[in-house]
């Protein structure tokens, strides 16, 4: 509890820290607009979300898996390397340790799947994280985890293999859990996209993660 950025989320009742419920995001605005328009339920209502996912150009399961692997390398290094060097305390330290282990598990699992498919896992890039404090660490963690959720949700419908899809689903759920816990800790909404997480295109993911990849 040394850091001012930490929120006391570990008590149930009034002790819960300030959790700002953010205003509507663009995507939730679209959804609500669609619902309010009347008669536009169902696929019509969610189409603004899924259209982004479906514009993903295939490239095949291996390409998608290698892209996911790059993101997992990024998250793993972020927690396990930067999380150690930046000097975390309290809940943030605990999260970085736990989440770092889980991201490393994702790296290993994705590498194994890619090999099983007869392909070569991408090499781990070198990353640079513009982080100097617990506060900036947690802010970037929020961006990375939420980007991870959108990346998997965006790419998953393009996967051909049902087995790979199931595996990706098992991973994205964990990214979503990490994202919510981090956001709660820093006083943001744990559901930034309201009821429907927004799928991201590869270009959108790269816009967020690209600057962190040195080479």
Partner 1 sequence: MSGPPNEETAPQPTGIVERLVRDDVDRKRFLKLAGSAGAASFGAFVLAACGSSSSSKTAATTAATTSTSASTGTGDVAIVNYALTLEYLETEFYEKVIQAGLFKGKVGSLIKDFGAQELTHVEALKGTVTKLGGTPVTKPEGKFPIENANQVAELAYTVENLGAAAYLGQAANIQNAEVLAAALAIHSVEARHAATLGTLVKKSITPDGAFAKPADMSTVLAAVKPFLA
Q: Among 30, 69, 74, 174, which residue interacts with partner 1 (rule: CB under 8 A)? A: 174
For partner 1 (CB under 8 A), the number of binding residues is 67
CA–CA distance from 166 to each of 54, 124, 202, 208 (Å)? 18, 24, 20, 25
Say whether residue 36 binds partner 1 (CB under 8 A): no
Whether 11 and 176 have beta carbons less than 8 Å apart is answered as no
Total count of residues recorded for the chain: 215
User: Phi and psi (nearest 5°) for 213?
Assistant: -95, 115
Q: Among 24, 166, 203, 207, which residue interacts with partner 1 (rule: CB under 8 A)? A: 166
Distance CA 101, CA 78 (A): 11
To partner 1, the closest distance from the beta carbon of 100 in angstroms equals 11
Upper half-sphere CA count for residue 74 (Cβ side, 13 Å): 25
Q: Which is nearer to partner 1, 59 or 211 (CB)?
A: 59
Tell me which stretch binds partner 1 (CB under 8 A): 60-68, 78-86, 118-126, 190-198.
190-198
Say whether residue 33 binds partner 1 (CB under 8 A): no
Q: Among 184, 200, 205, 209, which residue interacts with partner 1 (rule: CB under 8 A)? A: 184
Say whether residue 45 binds partner 1 (CB under 8 A): yes
């Amino acid at each position: 509890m040394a850091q001012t950025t930490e929120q006391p989320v570990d008590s149930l009742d009034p002790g819960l820290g300030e959790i700002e419920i953010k205003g509507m995001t663009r995507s939730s605005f679209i959804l609500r607009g669609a619902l309010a328009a009347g008669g536009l339920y169902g696929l019509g209502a969610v189409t603004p979300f899924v259209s982004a996912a479906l514009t993903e150009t295939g490239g095949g399961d291996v390409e998608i898996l290698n892209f996911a692997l790059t993101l997992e390398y990024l998250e793993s290094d972020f927690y396990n390397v930067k999380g150690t060097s930046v000097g975390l305390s309290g809940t943030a330290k605990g999260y970085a340790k736990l989440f770092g282990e889980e991201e490393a598990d994702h790296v290993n699992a994705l590498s194994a799947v890619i090999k099983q498919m007869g392909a070569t896992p991408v090499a781990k890039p070198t990353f640079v994280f513009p982080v100097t404090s617990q506060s900036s660490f947690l802010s970037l963690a929020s961006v990375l985890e939420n980007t991870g959720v959108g990346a998997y949700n965006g790419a998953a419908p393009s996967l051909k293999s049902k087995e790979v899809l199931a595996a990706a689903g098992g991973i994205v759920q964990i990214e979503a859990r990490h994202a919510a816990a981090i956001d709660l800790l820093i006083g943001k909404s744990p559901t930034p996209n309201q009821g429907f997480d927004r799928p991201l295109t590869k270009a959108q993911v790269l816009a967020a993660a690209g600057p962190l990849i040195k080479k």
